[in-house]
Amino acid sequence: MKILITGASGYLGRGIVDELIGMGHDVTATDIRDCGINKEAKIVVEDLFSIKDPYKYFGEPDVLLHLAWRNGFVHNADTHLADLSEHYRFIKNMIDRGLKSCCVMGTMHEIGFYEGSINENTPCNPMNLYGIAKNALRRSIELYAASKGIAFLWLRGYYIVSGDTRGGSIFSKIAQANAEGKREFPFTMGKNQYDYLDYKEFCEQVAVAVSQNDICGIINICSGRPEELGSRVERFIKENNYDIKLQYGAFPDRPYDSKAVWGDNRKIQAIFNANKRE
């Protein structure tokens, strides 16, 4: 497949580009900068929102994987709403010009405060600007893709475990603190339970999902099981031999953080099973 990946130099983009190239796809990777993108991809440094005919400009790809998004770890940044119409216009333009399969990265923050397993029918009530903007983009593209009869995949991401110090997750922040020689890390009580995937497995799930269009709609990129935050972080520290201790109770939980929430992984597992049969 010819696959266009936007936001390719970002935290997720670099790993997903690697996975798709490893699967033998023809990958065009674009971002506003070239930072760590696999050189086997065709790399295009460009501002997406300035291109008049992006479908032709990027070589008429079979699949769009839209990862591009500013300030994903700053949940109430104004840019989420400011950029929303530009994301919609770019994707709509791609569809209008001939795109046949559209995949967009979503987030469990679309759901809002919720307890239990999340599937594609779980109601959304986002409680921060990031979740509000992502949910609005999902609903908009969902409707437009259906009106044009093209495949639409919304890849709803959960929590990623990675020691990459360039990320903004709790795990990246602990890796940063350890690299700086800090011996304590301020933390919540760590009792909330979430759905975690190691970085490589997360990227692999995304790559396998976008390589097909038999199973579409909302697809949870997840493990399918909850784990207590404190337990997973302590295990992460041990796995990486960090000499750092958690300061439990230094921060309160955020009001929109669910007590126990995880993704239903049946659709992604069905995709993997179908891929094995082939």
Contact between 52 and 28 (Cβ < 8 Å): no
CA nearest neighbour of 158 among 216, 198, 213: 198
- Taking the C-alpha atoms of residue 109 and residue 77, their distance in angstroms, rounded to an integer, is 14
- Taking the C-alpha atoms of residue 94 and residue 2, their distance in angstroms, rounded to an integer, is 14
Q: Is-catalytic flag, 248?
A: no
- Taking the C-alpha atoms of residue 95 and residue 141, their distance in angstroms, rounded to an integer, is 10
Catalytic residue among 11, 55, 114, 130: 130
- Taking the C-alpha atoms of residue 237 and residue 228, their distance in angstroms, rounded to an integer, is 14
Which residues participate in catalysis according to the annotation? 130
